Amino acid sequence: MNTLSIFRKVAVAEGLSYVFLVFIAMPLKYWADLPLAVKYTGWAHGVLFVLYMVILIMAWQEYKWNLKKVVLIGFASLLPFAPFLVDKRLKKDNLNKSW
Task: State the 10-residue block means of pLDDT for the chain, 99 residues long.
Answer: 91 96 96 95 97 96 94 94 93 63
At residue 8, the pLDDT reads: 94
CA distances from residue 86 to 7, 8, 69, 94, 95 in whole angstroms, order as listed: 10, 8, 10, 12, 12
At residue 1, the pLDDT reads: 78
User: Which pTM does this prediction carry?
Assistant: 0.88
Q: Where are the domains of the chain?
A: 3-93
Contact 4, 63 (CB under 8 A): yes
